[in-house]
Every structure is written in C-alpha cells, then in structure tokens.
Structure 1
Amino acid sequence: MDEVDYERIFDALPSPFMILDRNLRFVTANAAYLETTSSTLDDLVGKYVMDRFPEPGESGRRLEQSFQKVAATGEADTLAYLPYPIAEPNGTVRHRYWTAVHVPILDARGQVEYILQNTVDVTEFARIREMATLPFSSLSAATRLMERTLEAEAASADFRRLFQQAPAFFAVLSGPTHIFTFSSDSYTRLIGGRNVIGRPIADALPEVVEQGFVDLLDQVYIDGHVHQAEGARVILDNEPGRPPQEYFLDFSYNPIRDSAGNITGIFVQGMDRTDAFRATQRQRLMIDELNHRVKNTLATVQSIASQTLRSTNDVTAARQAFEARISALAGAHTMLSDRQWHNTEIGHLVQKELDVFSSDKVSFGGPVLVVNAKATVALALVLHELATNAVKHGALSVPEGGLSVTWSESSGDGLVIDWVETGGPPAQEPTRKGFGSRLLRTVITGEMGGSMEMRYLETGLRVRMVIPRAAYQVQEALFVS
C-alpha cells in the first residue's frame, strides 16, 4: 500500500485549518485558511497568533483564553459565534463571525505539543438571523410567515452543515419551554438517535427533568447567565427496555438574544468526556489497588525473610533460599503486571514455575482455568517450594525421576491440583517442620481457605491441593501440556 500523503490531504481540506505550537506561534496552515485570511505561509509561520490577527476587545480575549486552555488542559475547546474582524492586505477590515474548534495534538509523552484550529465562517448565518428580525410591512401576514419559515429552514440547514462535522455537540433550544430547533449529529448520537426537533426538552428527554437540567435551563433563560459544568453526570434512557446509561459531560448553556437584547433561547454546546472520566476512575482504582498490593507484598517479603533466617543456621543456604523465594514472588508479580493485574491462566503459571526442568522429566496439564491475582501469588510460592524440595530431596534429584502436575475442577470441592513425583528416592516425612512446610500449610489452608494432603510414599511424594471456587473461575474446556 502506498504511503498516505497527509500533508497534501491537510492542504486540500476545504475548511480552514491551522496549527500553533505551545507558545501560540503559527506552525502551518492549509490553503483554505490562507485564502480566508488573505495570508501566505511566510506571513504566518513563526508569528504569535494574536500579533498576526490582533483584536483588543472581548473577542480577542476569548480566543486567546481558548488557546491557553487547550495548551494547559490538553482538552478540546469550542468557540461558537465569535465576532472577529479580518484585515485585508490593502487595509480593509472585514467584520466576520466565526466558530472555531481547538483540538490538542499530543506528543509521545501525552503532553500538548501543538494546537489544531478549524474555523468556520458563519457570517451569512448571522445575517440571515438579523434579516429575520426586520419588519415585512409590504407583505401579507401569510406571506410574511412563509418567508420567515423558509429563512428559518435555510438557516437551520446552513447551521447543520457547518456544525455537523464538529467533534463537540451542539443544540439550540427556543422559548421558555426549551423547544429543540437544532441538534447536531454528535448531540443526536449522544441521546441515542432520538428525534427531538420541535419538541420541548421535558418531553423529548424526560429523564433529565428530575436530574435538574431543565431547572438549570430555566435559570439561564431567566437570568441570562452562562452556565458551565465539567464532568457532569448525566443519565440517559437511550434504549427502551434496557437500563439507562451513564455519561459524563463538559457543557455550557449560553443565552441567545435578539437584536433588542431579549433572551429567545439557549445555545447548548459541550463534549462527551465519558471515556476519559472512566479512564481516570480506572486509574484511581488501579493506584489504590497497587498501594494495597505493595503493602501486602512487603508483608510477604518480611515474613519470608524472617522465617527463612529462623529455619537455618547456614547463612549461605538461607540467602540462596531467600533469593529463590523472592524470585518466585517476583515472577508471579511480573505475570500479573503483564496482564494489568487481571486473572492468570493456571497452565501458564505452572509452566513458568517448572520450565527450568527437562521437559522429558516434567509433564503438566488440565483444563483452562484462570485464578485471581491473590491466588496467583500464593500458588507461585507453593509451586516453588514443592519444586525446590523435589530438586533437593525428591524425584528431580535423580536422572530417572519424574514429576506430573495436573489440575481439574471438582463439582464438590473446587480446583484440585495433584503433584505426583515418581522414580525418585522414597519420600520421607520430615522430622522438623521448616519454613517451606509451614508456608505450604499457611498458604493453602490459611490464606486461600483450601485443604492440602501430603503423602510420603515409597514411589515418591504426592500432594493434593484443593482450592475453593472463590479463588478461580472457569474459562473454557481445553487441555494443555
């Protein structure tokens, strides 16, 4: 496949686009932007945007604040219906109205590196609105109503065309009952595709009434103050017969005034921040979980160190045993970390602990079952202790010895793991309970609430461990070996 020429595509976009760096200096602009602003790239590149297009009034302040907000927060921002004059090369000033969408472009570290602006000239729409307020004394009432209806339909069509591609959502509400007269495509998607045009919001979206949003609209309509919210929780009943869905939105309610300054409606704009909000929630939960696990891990390490040193007078052997146990613990943590601390498939866990031994001496298999994070760490330590004992004293200490590890699901017991050594020295019950023996009992019967049976036979050691259902879950029937 040929490489896509994004630079050529950017330049061919019919809508004006330009890019600023973090210091709000021009980086580039496409042909539509250059034509709209009567500029060349040489006029723009490297220049501070507010120096190139100065506007000392309120519009200039709002524009600069929007750029700064995107640079500081890394979140997109939209300025709707912004009056901003453009100076021609001959000095002529064109008074225009714009809608500008500012989108951050992040670097590899997730920091804002550039700001992309897409502008739409809505001057004609503004003129249509102004013309709709002029008297039509020479026309009959019926003709006057028809003309106004046609103009309103044309304005609505132009408005929809201009805003339908915007990443933010928009809606226009008219009158004291907040009747929908416009709904952008993104807003329509947000509300589940419901047809709301011509309907009061209380009828079109009845679930938002008790959530207080209609009261907010009433207040904006009466007082004329802009209402803004970040991360507002909204429950929408988008699919009849299914549970309502939860969303988190950044939005604002802006009063719309006629030429006399009277409020005639409300302009709604915003961004759906649900995914970002939930990602933040998940991150917070993961941090809390990590803090909890770190505390538990430190306690486990402390116990291993204390019990290992207490169980022997040989400092070298104690150090080696301690390092091996910590290595097993670290291996389990690495496995969980690779899966973002989700469940681990038991076959992978057994393989990781036994893959250092010859494949012709060790076999393992069973159905695909996954164990939770707590059980993963516990079983890693148990398998390590059993394998260490087999290498030192059991079947893996002689060339002709062998080991089989199998697991199955018992309807009455839960997860059953069988450790069977054959071909090695006869197994003998130790006269002294070391840390390894105590750890096996503590982990299986205490920490995991299961049971363990150890049989010391002439043919070798046999261990049966039963793990309660709460520590694992069935995935699918599959045999691994």
Structure 2
Amino acid sequence: MPPDIAPRSGRTGVRTRWDDGYGLQVPRAGMNDPLFAHIFDVLPSPYMVLDRDLRYVSVNRAYEQALLKPRDELVGRLLFDLFPNEGESGRRLRASFAEVLETGEPDTIAFIPYEIPRPQSQGGGVEERYWTATHTPILDDDGAVAFIVQNTVDVTEIVRLKQANTVPSSAVPGELALLRNAREVEEAYQETRSESEEFRRLFRQAPGMIAVLQGPDHVPVFANDSYARFVGHRDVIGLPIRQALPEVEGQGFFEMLDAVYAEGKSFTGEGVRLLIHGEGDEGLSETFIDFTYNPIRDAEGRVTGVFVQGADRTDAIRAADRQRLLIDELNHRVKNTLSTVQSMARQSFRKLPQAQEARAAFDARILALSHAHNVLAERRWEAAGLRVLLRQELSPFPGSRVTMSGPEVHLTARSAIALSMVFHELAANAAAYGALSSDEGELAVSWQVAGEGAGRHLSIAWTETAGTPVSANPLVEGFGMRMLHRVVEGELSGTLSLDLASGGLICRIELALSEVEEFASTAA
C-alpha cells in the first residue's frame, strides 16, 4: 500500500511508519490500519509503489489484473527485469522515473504503448497496450525521494475505439444519417470515457494537443483542452473535420488524415505552417505545429480512426526567426567593421616607407578573423569545431603535406576566434620561414583531451618537419610571437611553448577544457 503523506513546508514528507504486510515500511494512516490497506487494495485504478532502485514494494489488485501477474511475482523484483523494453516506450518510462527522483516533483506520461507478457493460460506471447501513467514521489524526513507511487490507466480501448456507425447509410436520408452517425460516435465515446475519470482528467490537462478522430470523415470524438484552445474553443465534437475546421482545406492536412485512414500508416510533421482561426481571431492566423497522426485499429486490425497528437511551436519558431535575423544583422555589422578597419589600415600604411609587407600581414590577419566569423555565423554563433578551423586555415597548402588528427572538440565562439588567430600566425610563419616555405617540408597538427573533472584539458601539438635541417638559432620575438603568447596565455589562460628543433618548429599549447569547450566532445 502507498505511504501516507502530509504537507511539510510546502512539500510532502513521510511520517511514522508501519509494515503494510508486503515488506514496505510506510506511514501510519489517520484511520484504522487494516481499513486503510483494504481501501488501497480495492481501488479500481491500478497502483504500484517502487523504491529508488525501481523495485516493486507494493501493488493493489487492479494492478495485478492489469498486468496479468499476481503480486507475489512482482513484489521484490525490479520493474525492468520483469518488463524489459529497450525501445522508445522504455526510454520514456525510465526518463519519467529519473525526473521524479531528481526533482522530487510528480511527472505524467499522457500516452505510452507498452507490451505486457500474456500468461500461458491465455496463449502466451505479448500484448501491446496503451497507458497513461502518473508518477508521484514520496519524500522521507530529509526531503529525499524514498518511493515512487505509480497510478496507471489502461486506455487501450480508447485507442481502439470501434467505429460507432452501425446503421447502413442507405437506411437513413443523407443529412439525417450523418447526424445519427455523429450522435452515435459521441454516445460511444461518452460511454467509454465514463469508465475512467482519471483518464479523462489526465488527457484533458495534457500540455500537448490530443484528439481522437473516428471514421472516414475524421469525426472528433475527443479533444483535450490544448486542442480546444488551439482551434479557438470551437465545438468540433461530432462534426466531420472538414466541416469543423473549414479553413484548413487546401493546406494538406486533410489529405494526410485520409492517407492514414486508408493506408494505416503514421504521418509526422515538425514545424509545419498552418493557417487557422484561433481564439478571438478575425482572420486567419499563421501558426507552426509539430504533429503525429497514428491509425487506430480495432481488434481485427481494421483502421477505425486517427489518434492526433500535436504541439503549438509558433512562439518558438518565431523567436528562432527573430534570433536568426539579429544574428544575420550582427554578422553584417561585424563584416562592415572589419572592412572599415582594413580600409583604415591600408590608408595608414600607404604613406609609410617599406610598409607593403606589414600591410599584407595585417590584411591576412583581418581575413583570418573574417573567416572565423563566417564559420561561427554558419552555426549561429553556437559552436565551431577545432578541426573545421584548422582545415580552413591550412586549406591553401597541399593536403599531402599537412596531416591533422584528434577527437572532435566544439569550441565556444570566444575561444574559436582566439584559436583561429593562433593558427593563422603559425600557418603564416610556416609559409614564410618554416616547413611550408619549401617543397619538401611537412606539417602535422595533433590534439587530444586528457584528465578528469575540473582537470580536463586540451593539448595541441603543431609540429613542422623541414626537408633540410634547420639551424638552431634562437627564435626572434616579433609581433606574431607576442600575439601567440597574449592570446594563449592571456585570453585563454593556457600555456604555450615554442621550440626550434633541428627538424623544424614545434609549438605546444595546453588549455583548460572549461575555457574553450562548448559542450562534451566525442571521439572523431
């Protein structure tokens, strides 16, 4: 039986405990204990109690009947050992339990198919049934989740609701036949939903749009509150969908419903544009929806209707469009600024003696910065790959002389700009004085991620191998070298080492991953 819960500081807490007869220590009810246990056991809706390991600690009779298993085969066993499911349904169920354990708040799955093993006495095998499930946490005295109470409602019969039209249309004149069929659909639905008030409450309050359409004319026999709000609270129940929502004609949705009913195949759309009359709209409103149309089948496998699920994505898509416009405007202004800086530099360098080489170097740096901005703009300034930046900077050199190796690392916009300037300085130096200045030299760039937790770091090795031995003269510090130290050690809080070995330049960079990484990297 489930624990008694009492308000405590705005939350629920477990109080004094007693044994329910199945091994679960639960709180003392404010009534006769055997009576409380009896009430739990005879509740018409299935209930079960799980511990933090998702192990059964108690179930009621309705739950035994729903799962076709006696409680002595359930209590003490892990839920997913008895009912394994590695598919989408199992993933959603695990995610719901994890959410409750993490937040200490209830969670509801409005609609989930799940296969239930049939006992051998009923032919064996498995039967796919459809459920709603509410998961309620029971907290201990310290506020931690001690148990999860699940209340399930079997909605298989709703999903498989039979077509209510039992009178041949030839027996009644056209419009009267349509009215009678619509009334029979509504009566059949009302009779079925009266069997489960819990189902009706859960589905009506579900945040997503849900509707059940019946027959070839797609007559709505159920529409939840979200669906009703979306269509402007029009009375669509019992009306053919083309009559209930006439403005949708010609937008392709009715044709998809026809195909689902005729072919028994599901349809899914994401961010699909729809013009519809909403609540208080004088004209058509542009909306965007995610939706799924699934066929409803009877016991013989015939399609009898369509189960509709949807979500209004209008606000999210419009916000994304606005963000895209702002980013495009930002990119445009950045490019204009870089062009202005480049023009000013050219004018300044023009009158200086022997300034052509300096101007060329400055132009190249501005161009490298512009290229890095292009990479980030393509990704909406969210992240840029380390490999992408290197490939872009080294693209002018023959691929046979340049090698790159390392895992995929996604860089923040700030670190991507900074490292693009570092790679540009190294590449420019290699082309002017190093391995890429001759036909025999080669360049190898490798990187790796090491360490754990806060100590995770990114190591980059830039190794040049010249075709002929390089003199061991010390490196001369110029603007490029000062920029490397300033960017790596200053802006990125890393370490930089430069060595001029007999084979060529070796540059090693160490950076804390927290300084540069956008999100977790995966091996390339």
Provide the TM-score with structure 2 as the length reference.
0.39
TM-score (norm 1): 0.42
